Amino acid sequence: MPIQPGWPRSWPALRRALAAATFAAAAVLAQEPEVAAPFAERVEVEVVNVDVVVTDRDGRRVTDLGRDDFELRVDGHPVAIEYFGVPSLTARPSVPAPPAAPGLEPQTVAPLLPPAEAPTVPALLVIFVDQSALERRVRRDTLAELREFVAARGDDERVMVAAFEDHLRLFAAPTSDGAEIETALAALEALPSHAGTVRAERTRLEHEVREFGRAAPLVRSVNDAEGFESNQMRVARRQETENTRIKAEIELFAEQELDRQSRSVRAMSEIVAALGALPGRKAAVLATAGFSSQPGSFLLRFLARKREYDSSLSSIPKVQRLEELGMRLNFDFEELVEIAQNARVAFYTVAAPPEPPSPNSAEFESAGRDQALPPPRDFTTVDQASSVTRLAAATGGKLFLLGPDLDAKLGEVRDDTGAVYSLGFTTGAAAGDKDHSIEVAVLRPGLEVRHRESFRRRSAEERQEEALMAAATLGETANGAGLRLEQGTPAPAEKGETARLVPIALRIPIASLALAAVGPLHQGRIRVWIGVHAGNGLVTTDAGTPIEIAIPDGDFERALSEVWVHRTELRLEPGRHRVAALVADEGAGTFATVAMEIEIGEL
């Protein structure tokens, strides 16, 4: 589903229709003895926590610094460190600072969020593999190293395993169960690799370009001027037809690659958005080949060189559709970087080292037989490497190259987790919805810092999207309202199909809602979203259902002990699924989430 008008920062994948479900929603009042507490209070003043890792010149982590050793700037202006969390290795508690100086930020609308987290927040490691981009050998070696790394985890460390194949796949929600983690990694390893097919197609296209124009001419007679002219025309027509065909195939290849990359980036954004609903810093290990917004540029430039359209190395034939898709990919990638920073997710990217150039590559003076000009340089690998480097640097993580010692290098992820300082400051509505740059300096000489580059206040809609994804994908809920999900009896599958229609009831306590007296009625408005984490790992959400509630004054006191029941039906395949619901009280500006596991059997 496309981005909604007026929501330039929302994530398209979080707004797509729930493809696996058919909705036939209804809402009714029902008796309920329990009276739930109100939803969580609205918070208009936030604490922004900046996670900082400090190292010396030799890369060793420094954990003995105090609040006065740091200087924090936002948009270039000094900001008071109001909350200070020390590394868990030092075993000292987080200490709030004295109140900020008057005028720093308005603090009059709501209580502050909790201060920078104490070291008791469980460590969370996210493993995400871009299944569509890694070649079989690289993926095999990477997973082997990741298994060794995960096997050395601490007892209290939770691990989450996810991947992108042709869509988002979640193999294990955050868990400390070693057997469950091993099962998830084994399932990931068993998936087929499609990256070899992509590389084979690119190699075929490069071979076609190198051999361009080598078709034997139809020679009639070198002494026949008319025949020679006719032969030249035939060769020109043949080459033009060949050029059109190859160019169309390159454009199709590039379009498919750009689409695959954008879907992969959006899948990561879904996972990262869900992690934003969890407290503390999260470490994500990403195995990928990287991202390039111009996957067909080398081949198009090479073909242009062979046709002698332009002898310059910088000429790239313009293809509007590819330019649009490339811009879309860049936008999606920058949005991922932004979402990761706001969710406090530090990316540790794992990439294969660059391969040495082959004799037929652009680095050698060979554009095919009988060719005077060399091919242009191929900058695709440069684009891919710069993308993963940027993702790591912008989020406070690191870049690792695949090798036999990768599991040892990955030990730095845990070293960072134990050495993180948390610098907290408050921000209010005056910050708006724009990005704000973050700079951290250490006053002790000779030290270096790593931290996220920016923050942005998230809108209510974005917080709701994060919370729904966290409930569906991770089972992490915030249910202060006493919501309940109930499953009805699945209907038999239709002939020739395996999916079954499953009734779902969401029970919403009336006492938890903000209902205003309007004439003879108490009225309110809520919106209900449903999300499903299917047994095959696919995560989908719907577009939300608005519900108007109007209760006559004479029935209001009785209604406070009852529930509003929202009913819907989901079409689900046999297997185990997690169904989640989010209820947003639009009058109060608050929301709550609930989730349940269901098992759909086969008939």
The string of DSSP letters for 498-561 reads: --EEEEEEEEEEGGGS--EEETTEEEEEEEEEEEEE-TTS-EEE---EEEEEEEEHHHHHHHTT
List beta partners, residue 171: none
More confident: 379 or 130 = 130
pLDDT above 50 for 132:
yes
pLDDT score at 4: 30
Is 236 part of any domain?
no
Which of 513, 584, 591, 583 is closest to 550 using CA atoms?
A: 513
The 10s digit of each residue's pLDDT in 317-376 is 668 889 999 999 999 999 999 999 999 999 999 887 766 555 444 444 445 454 556 677
Range of the domain at 484: 12-40+478-600
Once rounded to an integer, what is the mean pLDDT over residues 157-176? 87
More confident: 502 or 496 = 502
Is 539 part of any domain?
yes
pLDDT score at 212: 82
Instruction: Check: CB of residue 438 under 8 Å from CB of residue 50.
Output: yes
pLDDT score at 156: 77
Is 594 part of any domain?
yes
Torsion of CA 383, 388, 390, 391, to 10 degrees: 140
Torsion of CA 362, 367, 373, 377, to 10 degrees: -20
What percentage of the chain exceeds 70 in pLDDT?
78
Is 71 part of any domain?
no
Q: How many domains does the chain have?
A: 1
DSSP letter assigned to residue 61: B
Is 31 part of any domain?
yes
Half-sphere exposure of 273 (CA within 13 A, CB side): 29
Is 516 part of any domain?
yes
Half-sphere exposure of 566 (CA within 13 A, CB side): 22
Is 409 part of any domain?
no
Rg, Å, the chain Cα set:
29
More confident: 101 or 265 = 265
Q: Which two tokens stand for residue 238?
A: 């043949």
pLDDT score at 304: 84
Banded pLDDT at 225 (limits 50, 70, 90): low
CATH of the domain at 578: 2.60.40.3880
What percentage of the chain exceeds 90 in pLDDT?
40
Is 367 part of any domain?
no
pLDDT score at 113: 38
pLDDT score at 226: 54
Q: Which two tokens stand for residue 255?
A: 């379009």
- Rounded distance between C-alpha atoms, residue 336 and residue 238, angstroms: 46
pLDDT above 60 for 432:
yes
pLDDT score at 44: 62
- Rounded distance between C-alpha atoms, residue 172 and residue 160, angstroms: 5
pLDDT score at 359: 47
- Rounded distance between C-alpha atoms, residue 168 and residue 519, angstroms: 49
The 10s digit of each residue's pLDDT in 446-488 is 999 999 999 998 888 888 988 998 999 888 899 988 999 999 9
- Rounded distance between C-alpha atoms, residue 503 and residue 23, angstroms: 10
pLDDT above 50 for 5:
no
The 10s digit of each residue's pLDDT in 181-200 is 999 999 988 887 777 788 88
Q: Which two tokens stand for residue 585?
A: 């009280």
Q: State the maximum Cα–Cα separation within the chain, in Å, rounded to a whole number.
A: 108
Q: Which two tokens stand for residue 530?
A: 């449903």
Once rounded to an integer, what is the mean pLDDT over residues 379-408? 86
Residues composing the chain: 603
